[in-house]
Structure 1
Amino acid sequence: AVGGVKVCLAKPVDDPKSHLKLPAGQSVVKGEQALAFVRTRHSFGNESDLDRIKQQQQFIGSMIRQMKSDDTLGSPTKMYGLADAATKALTVDSGIGSIKKLTDLAQVIGKIDAKNITFATLPVIDNPAEGKKHITVVPDPTKAEALFAMMRADTSLTEVKKKEADAKSSAAAEEAARLNGPRSKASEVRVTVLNGGAVAGSAGEMVTWLQNQQGVLKSSNGSNAPQKVPATVLAYAPNQADQARKLADLLGLSGAALKPGTKDAVGKEPMVLTLGPDFKQAGTPVAAPAKAPEGIQKVEADKSVCAK
């Protein structure tokens, strides 16, 4: 229906298991050969399912570029043929289970710049329960949650922009500015942690994590807050701004969560961190990060990549 998809190989491949046989460089694959390309596991990378995911993402990205270049997504005739093939080949959710709904979806995709279409792989780590066997993997507890938080907040993995409403809001700009400036060392951060609506034991968990894993030794558990808060908040004095920015970095706090006071702190007076219902667990960013975690495996649809 698409007319073939361009793929690129860094080296020639002759895989008897998947029956993929292609020269180095670019080739156009369709039908059984296309299926062999997305199936092969022993031809690229470390021969794992995770590396196979990369070439499947590259294939779909190339297919999107092909459909956009020949105006498949803008031609009713071509779109009908594509949707007809898809409904015969796939079992899909009822929300897009008809030719009409698939063509409507494709028209929307056609308006999106390929550079803003990203395929990401769930970040994983070796399964700690297996010791040194390294047979299976589990989600990376920090990076995976950060990726999910970005998805929930509708934050782009490629072209990160503020939402239009935020860009026009002076209040949002002021909140974002609170994160700009120098940072204290972790050892200089002094904070009392209160539970203002998170699950029981969260304040203690946070203090343990801050002290044992982040070097924030001047942190203490203040137990329950006088009243619950709708979201996690960090209250600090103007002369504690450096400490606040450092703590915001460690916890993944947004500028909106930082609440500066008007009077400077005196002596060893600590900042006050009140954990709200948005706090999930220590080490998981409270707010969605503005950019994808370092090292996350992703493929952008506008880039042609040669499988290695």
Structure 2
Amino acid sequence: MPGQRSRRSSQGERRGAAEPPAAGRRKRKPQKSRKKKALLWTGGVMAFVVVAGSAGAYALYQKLNGNIDAIDVGDAGSKNVVTDGPMNILIIGTDKRTGKGNEGYGDKGSEGHADTTILFHVSEDRTNATAMSIPRDLVTEIPECETKNEDGTTTVIPGTANERFNTSLGQNGRNPGCTMQTVENITGLKPDHFMMVDFNAVKALTSAVGGVKVCMAKPIDDPKSHLKLPEGESKVEGEQALALLRTRDSFGNRSDLDRIKVQQQFLGSMIREMKSSDTLTNPKKLYKLADAATKALTVDTAIGDAQKLMTLAQEIGKVDTKNISFLTMPVIDNPAEPKPITVVVDPVKGEQLFAMMRSDTSLTEVKQKEKAAKGKQAALLKGPKAEAADVRVDVLNGGEIPGAAGSTVNWLQNVQGVPKSTNKANAPEKIKKTTLEYAPNQADQARALAEMMGLPATAMKQGTTDAEGLEAMVLTLGADFKGAGQLITGPAKPPKDIEKASADKAVCAQ
């Protein structure tokens, strides 16, 4: 990791923590009308926002700023702290064993892999967010990536096919930037920033917040993780919280997918605890939480100081807790294995969900937006659709991906069975949104192509006069086009059988 001012020393020591000054503190009574907000693992940074308004704010800023570790991920992330549109933040929990009390977990000396990974998508209007867990045992392609060395040089790490997702970090020198690029390669969603925590972070954060409430549908006694919990509600922190997040043998069919469900339930409870009035009105607890959170985090350099993290925290904190949905990336058993122990992306449901997230469609109860999107899309597809072989379309590239028109025509012809599609190369100018221009007597062809490509209602541009002879429709790909075979926009509702959990509701782990 590049040396940085006020960062951890090579031995991992930190400057001593002083108690926050008591003088000048004012307890503000929470407004009843204020909605609860949430920020996943970085909820402690919101504590800094409150603490920074107290006496001695400059000293606190310097102290907390010195806690944070940062890694340069180059072009893998965004250079801006906050983007105007939707934001994607990759939350990475590693299985790195370093630190006091972690030697007994096995795999001593491991660099740490992407053991628990969540893509946190925040909507453009900040009304909702989707937290999608990515299974560690997902088999996928790890693309080529670059890492920055301490001396300023760059190392290119070759890509590999058919690898477990968790090896996108730690394996062959890969850093979180490689994990960010792997996520983008899978979903078409580019992470703007990453936040990474390890075993110590789980223990420190849960202790700082005074424990996290959990609920078990049955008593738990797992000798492997040393987890013992009674049926019903209880509080966990420190080693016990880590054991809960690591156990596979206590829930469901003992798979990583069932463990993910428990992790999501735990995170939802942790969010509620971090944003509770008991935390927000307790200066000492706030300080401990802010100190623990900034010590726990490793982030990209674009958000690598307390001021930038505070700015990001305030932006994400606009999302109401009830409008944060937890879900797991849709997967199926790996067909390449006789007795599958790994999974691959569900080719249908996965792309539908990714398309929804790319088009910033809410998965929560933000009804007005969902109803409008559903109504427009239903009206668009209503009516007869032409057979794929009868669809005539000229494809132009007005987006950012070189060769997009050619790759789309290849996909249309060989995958969708549209032989009358033609590559017309680059459009006269770049456009932000994909458009399909068609004549009234080509409406059946337009509906067929819209369904294949997931074109939104806003993309459809019907002319006033009928087409003559063999005249083709004109499809111009825009900046919203992410690749051949990737839907431009998803359905108004998530695929069937996608299990969702809300950060605002407590659920007992099965």
Give the Cα–Cα distance (whole angstroms) in 1 for the partners of residues 266 and 249 of structure 2. 17
Kindly indicate whether residue 269 of structure 2 is the aligned counterpart of residue 62 of structure 1.
yes
Gaps of 5+ in 1: 168-172, 212-218
Gaps of 5+ in 2: 1-207, 398-403
User: Paired residue for 2:475?
Assistant: 274
Contact 1:5 1:66 in 2 (8 A): yes
**Counterpart of 1:3 in 2: which secondary structure?**
coil
Q: 1:237 to 1:60 in 2, by over 3 A?
A: same
Structure with bigger helix share is: 1
Instruction: Quote how far apart the aligned CAs of 1:121 are.
Output: 2.4
Q: 1:270 to 1:176 in 2, by over 3 A?
A: farther
User: Paired residue for 1:183?
Assistant: 383
Give the Cα–Cα distance (whole angstroms) in 1 for the partners of residues 316 and 280 of structure 2. 8
- 412, 421, 427: which one pairs with 1:228? 427
TM-superposition CA deviations, 1:234-292 (whole Å, max 9, x none):
333335545533442332101122111213467x867625252626223x212355443
AA paired with 2:461?
Answer: K
Equivalent residue runs for 1:1-308 within 5 Å: 1-73=208-280, 76-95=283-302, 105-106=312-313, 108-128=315-335, 130-160=336-366, 176=376, 179-180=379-380, 182-185=382-385, 187=387, 190-197=390-397, 198-211=404-417, 219-225=418-424, 228=427, 230=431, 232-241=434-443, 244-264=446-466, 272=473, 274=475, 276=477, 278=481, 280-282=483-485, 284-308=486-510
Question: Structure 1 stretch 249-258 or stretch 286-295: which is displaced more?
Answer: 286-295
Q: 1:274 to 1:74 in 2, by over 3 A?
A: farther
Contact 1:237 1:271 in 2 (8 A): no
TM-score (norm 1): 0.76
Q: 1:71 to 1:293 in 2, by over 3 A?
A: farther
Q: 1:183 to 1:25 in 2, by over 3 A?
A: farther
**Counterpart of 2:392 in 1: which secondary structure?**
strand
Instruction: Quote how far apart the aligned CAs of 1:66 are.
Output: 1.8
Instruction: Quote how far apart the aligned CAs of 1:210 are.
Output: 2.6
TM-superposition CA deviations, 1:132-164 (whole Å, max 9, x none):
33122233345444444444444433245778x
Instruction: Quote how far apart the aligned CAs of 1:112 are.
Output: 2.7
Give the Cα–Cα distance (whole angstroms) in 1 for the partners of residues 318 and 260 of structure 2. 26
Give the Cα–Cα distance (whole angstroms) in 2 for the partners of residues 233 and 43 of structure 1. 51
Q: Percent identity?
A: 56
AA paired with 1:300?
Answer: S
Give the Cα–Cα distance (whole angstroms) in 2 for the partners of residues 262 and 199 of structure 1. 26
CA RMSD of aligned residues (A): 3.6
Contact 1:189 1:243 in 2 (8 A): no
Give the Cα–Cα distance (whole angstroms) in 1 for the partners of residues 380 and 254 of structure 2. 44
TM-superposition CA deviations, 1:156-193 (whole Å, max 9, x none):
33245778xxx9xxxxx9x9479446232564884113
AA paired with 1:39?
Answer: R
TM-superposition CA deviations, 1:214-253 (whole Å, max 9, x none):
xxxxx43242338627454333333554553344233210
Q: 1:73 to 1:117 in 2, by over 3 A?
A: farther
Instruction: Quote how far apart the aligned CAs of 1:63 are.
Output: 1.0
Contact 1:203 1:222 in 2 (8 A): yes
Contact 2:380 2:457 in 1 (8 A): no
**Counterpart of 1:196 in 2: which secondary structure?**
strand
Give the Cα–Cα distance (whole angstroms) in 1 for the partners of residues 377 and 356 of structure 2. 21
Give the Cα–Cα distance (whole angstroms) in 2 for the partners of residues 135 and 281 of structure 1. 30
Greater RCO (Cα-Cα under 8 Å, separation 6 or more): 1
Q: 1:91 to 1:259 in 2, by over 3 A?
A: closer
User: Paired residue for 1:216?
Assistant: none
Instruction: Quote how far apart the aligned CAs of 1:59 are.
Output: 0.3
Give the Cα–Cα distance (whole angstroms) in 2 for the partners of residues 205 and 124 of structure 1. 23
Q: 1:285 to 1:161 in 2, by over 3 A?
A: farther
TM-score (norm 2): 0.49
**Counterpart of 1:307 in 2: which secondary structure?**
coil
**How many residues are aligned here?**
289
Contact 2:390 2:420 in 1 (8 A): no
Contact 1:160 1:290 in 2 (8 A): no
Give the Cα–Cα distance (whole angstroms) in 1 for the partners of residues 384 and 297 of structure 2. 55
